[in-house]
Amino acid sequence: MASRFWGQGDSESDEASDYEEDIEDEETGEPTAQTAENKYLRGTASDSDESDDQKRVVRSAKDKRFEEMSATVDQMKNAMKINDWVSLQESFDKMNKQLEKVMRVMESEKVPTLYIKALVMLEDFLNQALVNKEAKKKMSSSNAKALNAMKQKLKKNNKQYEDQINIYREHPESEEEPEADEEEDEDEESDLEFEEDPSKIAMSDEDDVKDQSEMEGGWEKMMSKKDKLMDKQFAKDPSEITWDIVNKKFKEVVAARGRRGTGRFEQVEQLTFLTKVAKTPAQKLEILFSVVSAQFDVNPGLSGHMPIHVWKNCVQNMLVILDILVQYPNIVVDDTVEPDENETQKGADHNGPIQIWGNLVAFLERMDIEFFKSLQCIDPHTREYIERLRDEPMFLVLAQNVQEYLERVGDLKAAAKVALRRVELIYYKPQEVYDAMRKLAEQTEDGGNGEEPKVEDSRGSSAFVNTPELVPRKPTFPENSRTVMDALVSLIYKSGDERTKARAMLCDIYHHALLDEFATSRDLLLMSHLQDNIQHMDISSQILFNRAMAQLGLCAFRAGLIIEAHGCLSELYSGGRVKELLAQGFSQSRYYEKTPEQERLERRRQMPYHMHINLELLESVHLSCAMLLEVPSMAANVLDDKRRVISKTFRRLLEVSERQTFTGPPENVRDHVMAATRSLRKGDFQKAFDVIESLDVWKLLRNRDGVLEMLKSKIKEEALRTYLFSYTSSYDSLGLDQLTKMFNLTAAETKVIVSKMMINDELQASWDQPTQCIVFHDLEHTRLQALAFQLTEKLSILAESNERAIEAKIGGGGLDLPQRRRDGQDFANHAASGGKWHENSSFTHGRQGSGRSGYGGGGGGRPQVLGQGYGYSKGASNLRAGGGYSGGSRYQDAPTRMVTLNKGARA
Amino acid sequence: MANTTTPTMARSFLQVAATEEVAPPLRAVQIEGLVVLKIIKHCKELSPSLVTGQLLGLDVGSVLEVTNCFPFPIREEDEEIEAEGANYQLEMMRCLREVNVDNNTVGWYQSMLFGCFQTVELIETFMNYQENIKRCVCIIYDPSRANQGVLALKALKLSDSFMDLYRSNNFTGEKLREKNLSWVDIFEEIPIKVSNSALISAFMTELEDDTPVTQCDYDRLQLSTSPYLERNVEFLIECMDDLSIEQQKFQYYYRNLSRQQAQQQAWLQKRRSENMSRKAAGEEPLPEEDPSNPVFKPIPEPSRLDSFLITNQIANYCNQINGYVTDLKDRLISYPGFWAELQPIIFDEGLA
């Protein structure tokens, strides 16, 4: 039996040669007639045999049926001879009907050999006819139609009798062997087994279909069937199995990979079985590698994900791989060198290094991707999703182990990659979620311990190479997620490549922001210069960057840094494509239809639900910030409010809401903020705050009360500022206590705010200390003055560009023109204007972001063409920013720089 | 020439005809009082919109006498109506000739607002006129300026050198330098002299009031200063914008030019090295000029005419502001004096 199995390959080649003979026959001489003859001769010979055979057994009642059938078969042969597919088709249908009768008469399950023979004959003839293209062309249309119909029918029909056909093909003349029966039983068993597994059944069905189309298809199936036999065989006498046998079989199975009709699940099974019979640890390892890659093959598409149980199995396999690697440190895994054929023959006691082909990191990354994909695909509102999430610690253990192994081996670069995978699983988790995960991991450990070895036991009972569980199966999570991050990230910084480092940095930033460490995360962002070159990175990293920025914005908001928060978030909202930018859903565009290809790509980029940043919260934060900044600014620049737009998005929304004839009660975030804006513009801080507070997304914030308190004080402050901007012209002087009462602020706070406005030249006033009054100076510019200022500005721009023209004429590069121009405009503003004008311009430029005085040393290396003026302006705006926003100045330029960079044009 | 020695008034038509070939430069424009009144009336009545009309008169030596005029109907942006306008003009001329009035076209007049007249259209019209009439002027009247109690009349003509340049339509920097033409040299302003016949002068003297103060004088004392200045500054700002746009055009041009030059250099380099190798191989060298190559296609230089005109306008505005402010200053200085004198009178009246 064993020899028969191992000799399977031979039998196939026989079969193939048989077939070739047929073709040769066809080639020689007149094609159709002769082959038909051949068939006929052969057919009759066997036919008589068969009928004799039957006659012995069958009584006369059945006899009749059989004769009818054989008559039909004869008819078919005749039809074949003259290549008449129409009548052939009729006969075929007739035969099928007769078959039913025969079966009924015979009262048996078995299909008569006669029928099978006819099928085989028909199939061969059909194949010939299909191969012979010229003859096909010559056919009449009805004939050709019949041929095609026949092809379809036969395919469908033969599927039912596939096994018998195969048997018949193998042993065309011999009688049925008892073994064959056994095989059949076996086959049925295996079929039953297949049906037990619902996910498999689909696969095997699919395979079946494929099998039909090919001659070869059949024997794969046979092999899988015989695999069971092999199991038995191996189980019976383990001592007989040698390394060579296993190796040969292994090679065979691997060679079948990727071929059409190779059952993917079966291959995994076969390989898994082989791991048990592997003779040396190296061999086991090699086979395990193949198992894992075969498991990856189970799902061929890019969009679908790996079945979860296969994934889990895969994790276990990986762990076993690690076990072996730890147990035998002399085994080296490498994917660059092609190891020697018999490298795996070296036994466990071999001293020298053994090289095995494989790539742990690639496997691990693939597993992570599969995990990610499965989360993308599963509906997040189901139990399944949660179940899937529970598998995360499992993966983390694996990653941890792989990383440790790699570190031990000294492959730090690979270790960094693995560390990044771990980082990417952790970075978005707030401490609470992290704790939950840690607890879950500890809990499942107790339950899982029993389960895992069981799997191992059931499979490894007969394993020759027993691998003790050396690698810990239990994740060791430190108490604090920050500790994990720090450790991993520092490893990556030390030895990762550029992309890994950048991603790790972004994750780090995100995590810091998540933990409310705004300053740290801001510094990281600025030091890394990620804003400058994120444009050149891959889309997934850009998404990560956007996420980090969003998180940073939220963090800044929680910390009460409104300008910074707005700087971080405004860009996300500038295009109205937040969802797309954060990969949290699809945004439809009215003007632009996406191609299906793009859509697919986008779908593949989506973040799993549990990693989402709440968009509503993000929008609330963004709009609140925009409101706090815009409302006073609008009040301050009533005359030309088009010029100093801080948030275009906000302005647009405001315009839309102002255009409405009737404003109902607010429903969504926008409505709320717009309602608040309307109140705030009137100076009604309490109402504004109430409206904002009524947004229920705030509950998503950790310290909701604190943030709301902050928001309230900010709203008060901005309300005061707005009030002063709007109504100073109506006052000669204003009492401090009056203001204090009006805005429910303390005297000190009011004083601070008002004084700041005076210092910033936003308010032309002075304090009258004894009476605690603000005395306003009417420094309103007349229209003429304003125009004159405008004129001077224009003039200086003109002068500036003239200078540059001269410069271009008398030398100087043309490449850095845009940059210099930008500076030049600043220069113009600073140089040409004084007083309030000056202040305003520098204020705007600081905010809108020339980005010139950014963190990176203010572009130190740039040639200072404009000399003093240029330097002066730089200094001034730095000073301004530094004074204005308590320590946030460095930062403040940076996000704005990002804005300009991304928009690519400056106002 | 005699024109400097003999008074222009005394020259007869025949005399002028005799000396015509010499064509002395135009020194002055002499306008009949009637014509001035007609122009003012026409322009003022339709003040916000701009109007034009025909000037008729005689070309006498270095003086252009404008003796009559008639308004054009208000032009609309419609070709038919424009054709009608031309018909009207011809018809009008015919009628005038029939009644034996001067019907020799010497130019046209037009109204303007705040002195923005330096436009390409004006130049084009001028060139059109110039084709038919050797000497032609354009009289411009500014009703807004007239409100300040000034006779805001201006006679303009294009300078000869500019006209040459314009005909060749070549306003590149090189040509301009060659001709030594700057923005000042586009328009020439010609002094205006208003003349009345002796009879009219006598009649006017007869009519003249005893009161020394006229409406004009009151206008001149107006103290609301800002609107006019504001408008001027606004226009200046607009001009600045226009000028920057022009400048950007040039920048763009120069950038393109330098890029092209770099490309040319690169191409030449390549061609030369190619030629070297060809020479080494004994082949005929390729020409170093390849006009078909797009690299050598000259980039058209933007015309400077627009920027010249804008500059002219700016100068105009500046002059206006200057003049106005000087007046204003005088007014403000003299105001306290007036006040001191007027005060007792007003109070007396008030008490009475």
pLDDT at A818 over 50: no
Asked if A639 has any chain B CB less than 8 Å from its own CB, the reply is no
Greater model confidence, A258 or A777 = A777
C-alpha distance from residue A376 to each of A381, A580, A585, A603, A609 (Å): 12, 15, 11, 9, 7
Per-residue pLDDT, A452: 39
Query: What percentage of chain A has pLDDT greater than the value 90?
Result: 1
Q: A412-426 vs A498-514: helix axis angle to the nearest 10?
A: 30
* Nearest CA distance, B86 vs chain A (angstrom): 42
pLDDT at A12 over 50: no
Per-residue pLDDT, A892: 38
Q: A835-848 vs A817-832: helix axis angle to the nearest 10?
A: 150
B243 contacts in A (CB within 8 Å)? 798
**Alpha-carbon span A174 to A540, nearest angstrom:** 63
Per-residue pLDDT of chain B (352 residues; tens, 9 = 90+): 344 444 444 555 555 555 545 566 778 888 888 888 888 888 888 877 778 888 888 887 788 888 888 888 776 665 666 677 778 888 888 888 888 877 788 888 888 876 677 777 888 888 888 777 777 888 888 887 777 777 778 888 888 888 888 877 777 777 777 777 777 778 888 888 888 888 888 888 888 776 666 777 777 776 666 778 888 888 888 888 888 888 888 888 888 888 888 888 888 888 888 888 888 888 777 777 766 676 677 777 777 788 888 888 888 888 888 888 888 888 788 878 877 887 777 777 665 5
Q: Which range is least confidently modeled, A286-290, A448-452, B215-219, B314-318?
A: A448-452
Q: What is the number of alpha carbons within 13 Å of residue A150 lying toward its C-beta?
A: 27
Nearest to A320 by CA among A350, A369, A281, A352: A281
Residue B133 burial (CB count, 10 A): 14
Greater model confidence, A642 or A65 = A65
**Alpha-carbon span A497 to A759, nearest angstrom:** 49
Which residue bears the tokens 């001769």?
A41
Pairwise CB contact (< 8 Å): B244 & A797: yes
Q: Are A136 and A129 in contact (CB under 8 A)?
A: yes
Pairwise CB contact (< 8 Å): B244 & A814: no
A787 contacts in B (CB within 8 Å)? 230, 233-234, 237
At A152-187, the pLDDT tens digits run 777 777 777 777 777 777 666 544 444 444 444 444
Helices (H) and strands (E) in chain B, counts: 11, 8
Could you say which of B237, B244, B258 has the minimum Cβ distance to residue A791?
B237
**Alpha-carbon span B309 to B300, nearest angstrom:** 20
Question: Closest residue of B to A816, CA-based?
Answer: B255
Pairwise CB contact (< 8 Å): B241 & A795: no
Pairwise CB contact (< 8 Å): A791 & B240: yes
Pairwise CB contact (< 8 Å): B230 & A805: no
Per-residue pLDDT, B317: 86
* Nearest CA distance, B273 vs chain A (angstrom): 27
Which residue bears the tokens 């009924």?
A104
DSSP B297: S
Per-residue pLDDT, A897: 35
User: How far apart are the two ends of chain A, measured CA to CA in Å?
Assistant: 84
pLDDT at A314 over 80: yes
B250 contacts in A (CB within 8 Å)? 805
At A515-552, the pLDDT tens digits run 888 898 889 888 888 888 888 888 888 888 999 999 99
Could you say which of A795, A805, A809 has the minimum Cβ distance to residue B240?
A795
**Alpha-carbon span A648 to A148, nearest angstrom:** 66
pLDDT confidence band for A340 (50 / 70 / 90): low
**Alpha-carbon span A621 to A561, nearest angstrom:** 11
pLDDT at A34 over 50: no
Chain B residues contacting A, CB < 8 Å?
Answer: 226, 229-230, 233-234, 236-237, 240-241, 243-244, 247-248, 250-251, 254-255, 258-259
Could you say which of B229, B241, B254 has the minimum Cβ distance to residue A794?
B241
- The whole-chain average pLDDT of chain A stands at 70
**Alpha-carbon span A557 to A623, nearest angstrom:** 11
Structure tokens at B250: 């040039």
**Alpha-carbon span A77 to A124, nearest angstrom:** 12
Query: Mutate which of A801, A810, A815, A821 to disrupt the B interface (most B C-beta within 10 Å)?
Result: A801
Q: Which range is least confidently modeled, A45-49, A727-731, B145-149?
A: A45-49
* Nearest CA distance, B220 vs chain A (angstrom): 21
Asked if A149 has any chain B CB less than 8 Å from its own CB, the reply is no
Pairwise CB contact (< 8 Å): A790 & B243: no
Pairwise CB contact (< 8 Å): A798 & B255: no
* Nearest CA distance, A575 vs chain B (angstrom): 29
Per-residue pLDDT, A99: 76
At A218-273, the pLDDT tens digits run 444 444 444 444 544 454 455 566 667 777 777 777 776 666 666 667 777 777 77
Per-residue pLDDT, A588: 65
Structure tokens at A283: 């061999």
B251 contacts in A (CB within 8 Å)? 801, 804-805, 808
- In single-letter form, the type of residue at position A309 comes to H
* Nearest CA distance, B313 vs chain A (angstrom): 15
At A838-894, the pLDDT tens digits run 333 333 333 333 333 333 333 333 333 333 333 333 333 333 333 333 333 333 333
pLDDT at A42 over 70: no
Asked if A784 has any chain B CB less than 8 Å from its own CB, the reply is yes
Could you say which of A787, A794, A808 has the minimum Cβ distance to residue B230?
A787
Greater model confidence, A340 or B85 = B85
Question: Closest residue of B to A806, CA-based?
Answer: B251
Enumerate long-range contacts of A571-580, CB under 8 Å, 24 or more apart. A571/A895, A571/A898, A571/A899, A571/A902, A572/A546, A572/A618, A572/A622, A573/A619, A573/A622, A573/A649, A574/A648, A574/A649, A574/A899, A574/A903, A576/A649, A578/A615, A578/A618, A578/A619, A579/A615
pLDDT at A201 over 50: no
Pairwise CB contact (< 8 Å): A801 & B247: yes
A783 contacts in B (CB within 8 Å)? 226, 230
Query: Mutate which of B114, B225, B237 to disrupt the A interface (most A C-beta within 10 Å)?
Result: B237
User: Which residues 786-815 of chain A have a CB within 8 Å of chain B?
Assistant: 787-788, 790-791, 794-795, 797-798, 801-802, 804-805, 808-809, 814
A792 contacts in B (CB within 8 Å)? none
Could you say which of B233, B240, B247 has the minimum Cβ distance to residue A788?
B233
The pLDDT of A55-68, averaged and rounded, is: 63
The 3 state secondary structure assigned to A852-869 is CCCCCCCCCCCCCCCCHH
Asked if A60 has any chain B CB less than 8 Å from its own CB, the reply is no
pLDDT confidence band for A444 (50 / 70 / 90): low
* Nearest CA distance, A642 vs chain B (angstrom): 17
The pLDDT of A334-363, averaged and rounded, is: 68
pLDDT confidence band for A87 (50 / 70 / 90): confident
Give SS3 for A461.
coil
**Alpha-carbon span A758 to A744, nearest angstrom:** 21
B229 contacts in A (CB within 8 Å)? 784
**Alpha-carbon span A4 to A11, nearest angstrom:** 9
**Alpha-carbon span A556 to A618, nearest angstrom:** 12
Per-residue pLDDT, A183: 41
* Nearest CA distance, B307 vs chain A (angstrom): 13
**Alpha-carbon span A360 to A835, nearest angstrom:** 67
B247 contacts in A (CB within 8 Å)? 798, 801-802, 805
Beta-ladder partners of A773: A735, A768
Per-residue pLDDT, A39: 46
B248 contacts in A (CB within 8 Å)? 801
Per-residue pLDDT, A466: 60
Question: Closest residue of B to A801, CA-based?
Answer: B247
Burial of A56 (0-12, 13-18, 19+ CB in 10 A): exposed
Pairwise CB contact (< 8 Å): B229 & A783: no
**Alpha-carbon span A319 to A399, nearest angstrom:** 10
Pairwise CB contact (< 8 Å): B247 & A788: no
Per-residue pLDDT, A840: 37
Q: Which range is least confidently modeled, A96-100, A153-157, A348-352, A660-664?
A: A348-352
Could you say which of B233, B244, B258 has the minimum Cβ distance to residue A801?
B244
Structure tokens at B61: 């030596």
Question: What number of C-beta contacts closer than 8 Å exist between A and B?
Answer: 47
